[in-house]
Chains A and B, each alone.
Chain A
Amino acid sequence: MKQIISIELYKIFRRPRTYIAFAAIAALIMVIQFGLKMDGQSYAGFLMKDINDTLTVDGKVLNGYLICYILLQLLLVHVPLLVALIAADMISGEANLGTLRLLFTTPYSRTQWVIGKFIAASIYTIVLLIWLAFLALFASMWIFGTDDLFLMKSNYVVLIQEKDVLWRYVGAFVFASFSLLTVTALGFLMSSIANNSIGPIVGTMSAIVFFTILSTLNIPLFSIIKPYLFTTHMNNWKEFFDIKVDDNNEAIYGTILNLAKIKTSLIVLTLHIILFVSASVIITKRKDILS
Chain B
Amino acid sequence: MNNRLQAQVDPLIERVSQKLGLVNDYVAEGVMKTDVSFIKASLGKVKVYFKKPNLLKVKKEGGISLLPKGGVSVTINSLLNTKQYIALPAGTQEYNGKTLRVIKLVPTDDKLDWVISTLWIDPADALVYKTFTTTKENGSYEITMEYGSYANLGLPSKIIFAFNTKDYKLPNGITLEFGDDDPTAKQKALKNKKGKIEITYTNYVINKGVSNTMF
Q: Which residues of B contact A135 (CB under 8 A)?
A: none
Partner of B68, one of A56, A73, A161: A56
Residue of B nearest to A149 (CB): B64
Q: Which residues of A contact B186 (CB under 8 A)?
A: 155
Query: Shortest distance in angstroms between A172's beta carbon and chain B's nearest beta carbon?
Result: 15
Q: Which residues of A contact B59 (CB under 8 A)?
A: 58
Q: Which residues of B contact A77 (CB under 8 A)?
A: 176
Whether, in the assembled complex, B36 has its beta carbon less than 8 Å from a beta carbon of chain A, the answer is yes
Q: Are A154 and B42 in contact (CB under 8 A)?
A: no
Whether, in the assembled complex, B129 has its beta carbon less than 8 Å from a beta carbon of chain A, the answer is no
Query: Shortest distance in angstroms between B141's beta carbon and chain A's nearest beta carbon?
Result: 11
The total number of A-B Cβ pairs within 8 Å is: 134
Interface residues of A in 50-69 (CB under 8 A from B): 50-61
Q: Are B175 and A52 in contact (CB under 8 A)?
A: no
Q: Are A148 and B63 in contact (CB under 8 A)?
A: yes
Q: Are A159 and B38 in contact (CB under 8 A)?
A: no
Q: Are B176 and A54 in contact (CB under 8 A)?
A: no
Interface residues of B in 156-190 (CB under 8 A from A): 163-172, 174-182, 185-186, 189
Residue of A nearest to B67 (CB): A56
Which applies to chain A's interface (DSSP): helix, strand, loop or mixed?
mixed
Whether, in the assembled complex, B43 has its beta carbon less than 8 Å from a beta carbon of chain A, the answer is yes
Complex Cα spacing A157 to B41, Å: 8
Residue of B nearest to A252 (CB): B42
Size of interface on B: residues with Cβ below 8 Å to A: 46
Whether, in the assembled complex, B62 has its beta carbon less than 8 Å from a beta carbon of chain A, the answer is yes
Q: Which residues of B contact A215 (CB under 8 A)?
A: 179
Q: Are B66 and A55 in contact (CB under 8 A)?
A: yes
The interface of chain B, by Cβ under 8 A from chain A, is: 33-44, 59-60, 62-70, 163-172, 174-182, 185-186, 189, 195
**22 A-B Cβ contacts within 8 A?**
A47-B170, A51-B66, A53-B166, A55-B67, A56-B69, A57-B65, A59-B63, A74-B176, A153-B177, A154-B170, A154-B177, A155-B182, A156-B40, A157-B40, A158-B40, A159-B42, A159-B66, A215-B179, A232-B179, A238-B180, A249-B40, A250-B41
Taking A56-B69, A56-B70, A154-B175 as known contacts, 4 extra A-B pairs with beta carbons closer than 8 A to each other, sorted by chain A number, are A59-B65, A156-B185, A159-B39, A216-B178
